[in-house]
């Protein structure tokens, strides 16, 4: 039982730690570019549902922070993580080396895990709609 509690608390502990370990200025500059790219997609999008998801992502994930967007190494094989029970999401630092358009899609993908049912089949379907923009 205590291991389960530790696993549930881990994202909150990491979020508090991240907020107190520097200013993350370079990450914020990168995130601003990603949000700007998402804003351009939002302006050109005609589907109301997709526009709402884009608008939510732009509003919710526009700053670097422990309970917003963290740039931290993820588990091997992953480039992003969003625990639905904990506010915020995490992207691997390697994402910052990718084109801004790819970083924007990865941020959007992780943000979509905030929507029920949170699972990949739902997220992947919505990402295909965005890919048509």
* 55 dihedral zone (left: phi>0; alpha: psi -120 to 50; beta): alpha
**Residue 100 DSSP SS3:** helix
Domain ranges of the chain: 2-131
Determine the Cα–Cα distance for residues 81 and 92; give it in Å rounded to an integer: 9
82-124 pLDDT, tens per residue? 887 889 999 999 999 999 999 999 999 899 888 776 666 666 6
In 3D space, the residue among 57, 67, 56, 118 whose CA is nearest the CA of residue 90 turns out to be: 67
Query: Among 16-25, 38-47, 59-68, 107-116, which stretch is predicted with the lowest mean pLDDT?
Result: 107-116
Check if CATH label 3.40.50 holds for domain 2-131.
no
Determine the Cα–Cα distance for residues 124 and 128; give it in Å rounded to an integer: 6
User: Residues near 118 by Cβ (< 8 Å), separated by ≥ 6?
Assistant: 84
pTM of the predicted protein model = 0.88
In 3D space, the residue among 92, 59, 87 whose CA is nearest the CA of residue 74 turns out to be: 92
């Amino acid at each position: 039982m205590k291991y389960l509690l530790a696993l549930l608390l881990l994202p909150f502990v990491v979020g508090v730690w991240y907020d107190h370990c520097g200013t993350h200025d370079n990450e914020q500059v990168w995130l601003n570019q990603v949000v700007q790219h998402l804003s351009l997609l939002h302006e050109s999008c005609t589907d109301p549902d997709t526009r709402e998801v884009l608008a939510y992502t732009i509003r919710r994930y526009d700053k670097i922070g422990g309970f917003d967007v963290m740039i931290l190494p993820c588990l091997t094989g992953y480039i992003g993580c969003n625990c639905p029970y904990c506010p915020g999401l995490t992207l691997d630092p390697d994402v910052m080396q990718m084109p801004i358009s790819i970083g924007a899609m990865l941020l959007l993908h992780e943000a979509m895990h905030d929507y029920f049912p949170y699972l990949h089949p739902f997220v992947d379907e919505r990402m295909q709609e965005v890919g048509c923009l």
